[in-house]
A and B are shown apart, each in its own frame.
Chain A
């Protein structure tokens, strides 16, 4: 059947209905992306431009937001500035032109590094533990499997604040408060549930025949796992890893309650980037942008598996 039977066929939509659909969807997409675009643009405004009213759509771009993000500055009187040696670098010049002096680097780089270390560390551990547990659930008849799986899912039903109360006390006892190790352990525990569910789905899709053939050929179960199943599961593992990373990357509640200086990640840091009065919106926008870039790349890479990831593997396309 190549021609649609009716004008509003679902199986084969007419070109008019396609046009109608595209107009609506594009309109929604544009409206929904506007806030993000605005934030991106705000990163390139000067602080006075960013709080201009009415809001400025056309403005003179400047990298002041990014410079402000990476430095700490203090305002001085013109006389004091005149007494200083001339600025050495382009960013020092920019800051001086605003009657300010650079005091030193800001904390954004350590925070970003913390996000990376804690994110990748917890992801790595969660995926390791999750892969082997998922394999076991997939291949073996584990007693109480359904209950265990639901138990694993239910660990994500507690509000993070609620979980944080005893964890705070525990960490205080064990000396893990405000440590990267403590945060890695915590995020691993939270991510393991996601990892197990997702990877079980992926494992289920790998036909058993391959391992069974390998075992007939004289492998042990473990060898079959490492040499036959794992290579086939790499896409699934990669997809799971990225979802775990996204959770750890974006997490705020635990980070703000359990860290303060050493182990603080970006999400508790970004909303509190202060300028001379209120928030330094260009710097906040700059931080949001650079924090989002890795996730943006991952989203595009992961498009195929996104659906599975967000539903704990319950839904596959």
Chain B
């Protein structure tokens, strides 16, 4: 009998401790959710100023990129209260706006005299507007980003390598301007022995699970002429997604993967690229500008050893947009404090400090400053890239569209299934089905 009482007491204790742990904290606190990467660490540093100024403690929930969309879209869909502020991916805007996950910021901007004209147009369209090209704002542009490339400047500078290259290709070894040049350089370095170790030509994205291979292949596809739909007739994809030029672009990305990458890179995204480049495995690496400050600081491959170049061109010149905007979650219990954070973050001085700590500000005060291109070795390339960015669908159904593309592209590029034309034809069919379900066609 006593045992039963004790047992009941233990149950009660367990239950109470669970319920108790959900009690709201008394001190002012905001939770900011983002992906776990270098810029997030920089933001932690930056936000100490906000805490000093306002007395609001900042808590963070950082999740690795490969589970970032999964975790936070799940959180938003289950009306979770974990996040007060969220730095959501640019493609989430459509879904978040239409499903009421984000607080619409138009009134707040008007009241606080924050104008979107202060931010670079590409970032405003990409990170905060929905529907696109209409003045409806759901986020403040927080982190500007695009795909860029790094290369081993020290290897390119070696006389024997330069001589070898000139002999083989009858031109000087230099950062590539076109994809054909990039492939040549990659083939040149593939399998070469440098400093006693075998190295490989290039690192490209091939990740299957979340968005990796799509974020990589679009850089080639855009440059060959791939378009998401007819500019004159929205959602008409036949002939634009699977145009003969797009097919060529896809074939090129696969040939680059097959000829010139390191072994074991069949499911690789941003972090594996950093590892491969830092451990001296590859001559050139595709990755987001967000990582370039960290790479520049790296003791092994940074400083003078690293160089940067913009995504090469082919028939056209584009690069895949990255980057995020910061939004207030509509389920949060601390919306006022969250809005105060956004007001603080939008100030030009804070934006300047953000850039200096390693975050890519989107504010014109930073980017249009004449000293900006020289402020870092990759700054000029970043500005150039932001002029030529193109983004994936930002529709509410973007997840389905993305997963379809992940599957078709990975099937063809990595798993050798079918031809490029078949992959893109199937993709058109997949996307048509999605839009039909959505009622858009």
Contacts and interface: CB of A to CB of B under 8 A. Distances in A.
B18 A181 contact: yes
Contact of B36 (A120, A262, A274): A274
B1 interface: yes
Contacts of B31: 261
Interface stretch (B59-67, B226-234, B392-400): B59-67
Interface in A231-278: 256-257, 260-262, 272, 274, 276-278
Given A261-B61, A274-B36, A276-B294, A124 B275 contact: no
Contacts of B4: 226
Interface stretch (A140-148, A170-178, A203-211, A308-316): A170-178
B194 interface: no
A179 B19 CA distance: 9
B274 A278 contact: yes
Contacts, number: 91
A279 B64 CA distance: 10
B80 A177 contact: yes
Nearest to A181: B18
Contact of A279 (B42, B72, B79, B271): B271
Given A181-B18, A260-B61, A279-B271, 6 more contacts: A76-B297, A103-B41, A172-B78, A179-B22, A260-B71, A276-B38
Nearest to A178: B80
Nearest to A118: B18
Name the interface size band of chain B.
35 or more
Given A99-B299, A180-B21, A181-B15, A278 B271 contact: yes
A124 B14 contact: yes
Contacts of A75: 38, 294, 297
A278 to B, nearest CB: 4
Given A124-B14, A181-B18, A272-B67, A226 B3 contact: yes
Nearest 7 Cβ contacts at the A-B interface: A277-B274, A277-B275, A74-B41, A278-B271, A177-B78, A181-B18, A180-B18
A36 to B, nearest CB: 22
Interface in A34-91: 48, 51, 72, 74-77
Contacts of A274: 36, 64, 271
B366 interface: no
Q: Which of A77, A181, A279 has the most chain B CB atoms inside 10 A of its CB?
A: A181
A125 interface: yes
Instruction: Find the residue from B11, B14, B61, B274 having the highest chain A CB count within 10 A.
Output: B14
22 contacts: A74-B44, A74-B45, A75-B38, A103-B41, A103-B44, A117-B14, A117-B18, A121-B18, A124-B10, A124-B11, A124-B14, A177-B79, A179-B22, A181-B19, A184-B14, A226-B1, A226-B4, A260-B61, A272-B36, A272-B66, A276-B294, A277-B278
Contacts of B66: 272
Interface string B6-17: 010011001101
Contact of B78 (A72, A178, A276): A178
B115 interface: no
Interface of B: 1, 3-4, 7, 10-11, 14-15, 17-19, 21-22, 31, 36, 38, 41-42, 44-45, 61, 63-64, 66-67, 71-72, 74-75, 77-80, 82, 271-275, 278-279, 294, 297, 299
Contact of A125 (B11, B279, B294): B11
A125 B12 CA distance: 11
Nearest to B83: A261
Nearest to B274: A277
Contact of A260 (B19, B36, B80, B275): B80
A171 B78 contact: yes
B182 to A, nearest CB: 22
A133 interface: no
Q: Classify the secondary structure of B's interface with A.
A: helix
A128 interface: yes
A108 to B, nearest CB: 14
Contacts of B80: 177-178, 260
Contact of B79 (A48, A172, A276): A172
Given A75-B297, A77-B297, A179-B22, A260 B272 contact: no
A74 B10 CA distance: 42
Contacts of A272: 36, 63-64, 66-67
Contacts of B36: 272, 274
Given A74-B41, A226-B4, A276 B11 contact: no
A291 interface: no
A75 B294 CA distance: 8
A117 B17 contact: yes
A53 to B, nearest CB: 8
A298 interface: no
Contacts of B299: 99
Nearest to A260: B75
B11 A178 contact: no
B282 to A, nearest CB: 13
B272 A277 contact: yes
Nearest to B41: A74
Given A75-B297, A99-B299, A178-B82, A128 B272 contact: no
A277 B275 CA distance: 5
A72 B75 CA distance: 23
Nearest to B198: A53
B266 to A, nearest CB: 14
Contacts of A260: 61, 71-72, 74-75, 80, 82
Given A257-B74, A261-B82, A278 B18 contact: no
Nearest to A230: B3
B209 to A, nearest CB: 12
